Structure 1
Amino acid sequence: MKKLVLCLVSLGLISACSQEQQNKISRSLQNWTGTNGVLEIYAGDKLVRRFIQVDKLSTATGTEDGVIRPYRYGYGVLDENLNMVVESTEKKVYFEISDYSTAYVFFEAPR
């Protein structure tokens, strides 16, 4: 019974938050639980790189000034043959993508 009351109170508090606060809560939970994301990078209409098993994309900020930088970064497995399967030769790598010139799509892996 205590758990039910606690859940109801928690839901009431969350619903009282603004949409922005709800989004922040959702993102923090997702960051904590992780995702199985896929990052695809395009040159025009051609897929040129794919990273799989990406936990999250982070927006870079300055260390001292806290100003948002024009790129995102993360870690994922470079899918060299673009088959959505981690092969023994494919390793987890660090990557950065520019907000200015890179066309990319980030989504949760369908399988």
Structure 2
Amino acid sequence: MKLVSTLFISALVVFVAGCTQEQQNKISRSVQNWTGTNGVLEFYAGDKLVRRFIKIDKITTGMGTDDNKPRSYRYGYGVLDENFNLIADPGEKKVYFEISDYGSNYIFFENPR
């Protein structure tokens, strides 16, 4: 049993090492999407925080329907943190959001709490 585990892990390491950086990133994102994250997305107008979404599992790049090419926006679901306290308070709901690549000032990070 120990030999089988060692061989499996060795094969996995060889497989990942043989992948391009983009393939490794895709594998990492799929594992992260499966395990989930506790992301925070903040939007700024100059130096002022104007909108915050918390409890984001993932942000997805929009893809074209016919050509399957990436679009210039990303989207996801998160709780709108209306009072900016990084906590999903009663009454704060999970909502859909979109982020344009054109002129958006935003930061995405893992919630430290």
TM class, shorter-length: over 0.9
Task: Identify the residue that residue 22 of structure 1 maps to in structure 2.
Answer: 24
1:77 paired with 2:79, answer: yes
Structure 1 regions of 5+ residues with no counterpart? none
Helix, strand or coil at the partner of 2:12: helix
Task: Identify the residue that residue 44 of structure 1 maps to in structure 2.
Answer: 46
Select between 21-30 and 74-83 the one with higher mean Cα deviation.
21-30
Q: Distance in 2 between matches of 1:71 and 1:21?
A: 22
Task: Identify the residue that residue 100 of structure 2 maps to in structure 1.
Answer: 98
| Deviation string, structure 1 residues 8-34 (Cα, Å, up to 9, x no partner) | 211122112222221111111111221
Number of equivalenced pairs: 111
- Quick one: which of 78, 87, 90 aligns to 2:89? 87
| Deviation string, structure 1 residues 51-96 (Cα, Å, up to 9, x no partner) | 0000111111121222322211100000000000110110000001
Helix, strand or coil at the partner of 1:82: coil
Deviation at 1:4, TM superposition (A): 2.1
Task: Identify the residue that residue 110 of structure 2 maps to in structure 1.
Answer: 108
TM-score normalised per structure 2: 0.91
Helix, strand or coil at the partner of 1:70: strand
Task: Identify the residue that residue 13 of structure 2 maps to in structure 1.
Answer: 11
User: Which residue identity does 2:62 align to in structure 1?
Assistant: A
Structure 2 regions of 5+ residues with no counterpart? none
User: Which residue identity does 1:44 align to in structure 2?
Assistant: G
